[in-house]
């Protein structure tokens, strides 16, 4: 599941060893001859394995690539690797991993939403809008997907339709500053300055 879950379960083993070994080796000289060398060997092995394991945690890309090698088929490593690759500007690789994640979980709105975001980075607004719509279809209360689709419509100068999606994002999440800011811009275009000012103030 995850390396960190091993720590808690190891406590019981450590207690058993600490209290049990002196009973198995009651003579002090025997403990020095057997347990001390064994403990040193154990620590050396663990140190080497720890050094190796730390390499996997160098960054998120190495971590999730390693996860793909050691886990059963699952959407999660592909999904998280897609996020990490996007953060490092590796757009095409990010898209590929999100698509692989969707092969396992086509019903997961977060994957569609993140795929849409990276498609926007690539400049493929049509495909991005399709992913945001699918995310909304799967999870109608996804404020982020409403906002992201509205942003595309705004860039395409479909201001009225864009406003409707921004409004839905705000209805779902009243403190959504980005949505309120763009609602204000659209209202200002229509010379509805008082309403625009209301949303500007809320965005602030």
H-helix or E-strand spanning residue 132: helix 125-138
Q: Model pTM greater than 0.85?
A: no
Direct distance between the N- and C-terminal alpha carbons of the chain, in angstroms, rounded to an integer: 42
Helix axes 109-122, 143-155, angle to 10 degrees: 20
Low-confidence ranges of the chain (pLDDT < 70): 1-2
In CATH, what class is 60-203? mainly alpha
Q: pLDDT tens for residues 53-69? A: 888 777 889 889 888 88
Average pLDDT, the chain: 92
Q: State the Cα–Cα distance between residues 114 and 120, nearest whole angstrom.
A: 10
């Amino acid at each position: 599941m995850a390396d960190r879950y091993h720590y808690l379960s190891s406590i019981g083993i450590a207690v058993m060893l600490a209290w049990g070994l002196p009973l198995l080796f009651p003579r002090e000289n025997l403990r020095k001859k057997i347990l001390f060398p064994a403990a040193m060997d154990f620590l050396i092995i663990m140190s080497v394995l720890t050094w190796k394991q730390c390499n996997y945690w160098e960054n998120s890309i190495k971590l999730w690539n390693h996860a793909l090698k050691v886990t059963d088929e699952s959407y999660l490593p592909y999904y998280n690797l897609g996020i990490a690759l996007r953060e490092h500007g590796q757009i095409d690789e990010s898209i590929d991993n999100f698509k692989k994640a969707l092969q396992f979980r086509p019903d997961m709105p977060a994957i569609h939403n993140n795929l849409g975001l990276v498609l926007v980075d690539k400049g493929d607004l049509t495909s991005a809008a399709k992913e945001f719509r699918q995310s909304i279809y799967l999870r109608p209360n996804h404020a982020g997907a409403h906002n992201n689709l509205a942003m595309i419509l705004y860039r395409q100068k479909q201001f009225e339709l864009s406003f409707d999606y921004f409004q839905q994002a705000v209805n779902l999440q009243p403190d959504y500053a980005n949505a309120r800011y763009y609602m204000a811009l659209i209202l200002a275009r229509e010379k509805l300055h008082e309403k625009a000012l209301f949303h500007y103030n809320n965005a602030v």
